[in-house]
Amino acid sequence: MERKMRWALGPMTGPEARQVTEWQYPAPYEMYNWAEEDDPAELLDGSYLACREESGALGGFLCFGPNATIPTREDVYRQGYLDVGLGLRPDLCGRGLGRGLLQQGLDWARRELGAGCFRLAVAQFNLRAQKVYRDCGFRETAQVTHGVTGDRFLLMVWEPSERRE
């Protein structure tokens, strides 16, 4: 069941960045927990948007550009795509909010960044997220290995219909 929520998108603040680093996802999604060695300043470098609920509470984030990529063993990142990443606060996962958040984020990137084609990486085991991305029109283009952890990921792209094969 998809829930409709209109997110307020805006720059990530320091307190919101700290919240993201404290989010704890249950198994098998713990790979999405912020690692101690990761620099939280990344969340404040301008590539992340805070996604606020109607109440003003931080409910998720969007990320655009190089910070949305994963290191891969394969040479798969081609020009012409804006990389996108997103995350929901753990208690909001599985509630049908991902599709609306992603669609709103892509609309924002088209309008504000002039993006036309998008790419994302998703863990191979994360069937829930893969369904969201496929429902939004993304298609798988490659299977890759994370260059640090060895985990398997799918690369998926969204292109305007006139560019699709």
Alpha-carbon gap, residue 114 to 109, rounded angstroms:
6
Q: Give me the pLDDT at residue 4, please.
A: 75
Q: Give me the pLDDT at residue 36, please.
A: 81
Q: Give me the pLDDT at residue 90, please.
A: 98
Q: Give me the pLDDT at residue 139, please.
A: 97
- Cα separations (Å) of 79 from 24, 119, 124? 34, 10, 23
Q: Give me the pLDDT at residue 165, please.
A: 44
The domains of the chain, with CATH numbers, are: 8-163 (3.40.630.30)
Q: Give me the pLDDT at residue 107, please.
A: 96
**How would you write the pLDDT of the chain (165 residues) with one tens digit per residue?**
456 789 999 999 999 999 999 999 999 999 999 988 778 899 999 999 999 999 999 999 999 999 999 999 988 899 999 999 999 999 999 999 999 999 999 999 999 999 999 999 999 999 999 999 999 999 999 999 999 999 999 999 999 875 544
Q: Give me the pLDDT at residue 150, please.
A: 94
DSSP string, 96-153: S-HHHHHHHHHHHHHHHH----EEEEEETT-HHHHHHHHHTT-EEEEEEEBTTT--EE
Q: Give me the pLDDT at residue 42, please.
A: 93
Q: Which pTM value belongs to this model?
A: 0.91
Q: Give me the pLDDT at residue 3, please.
A: 65
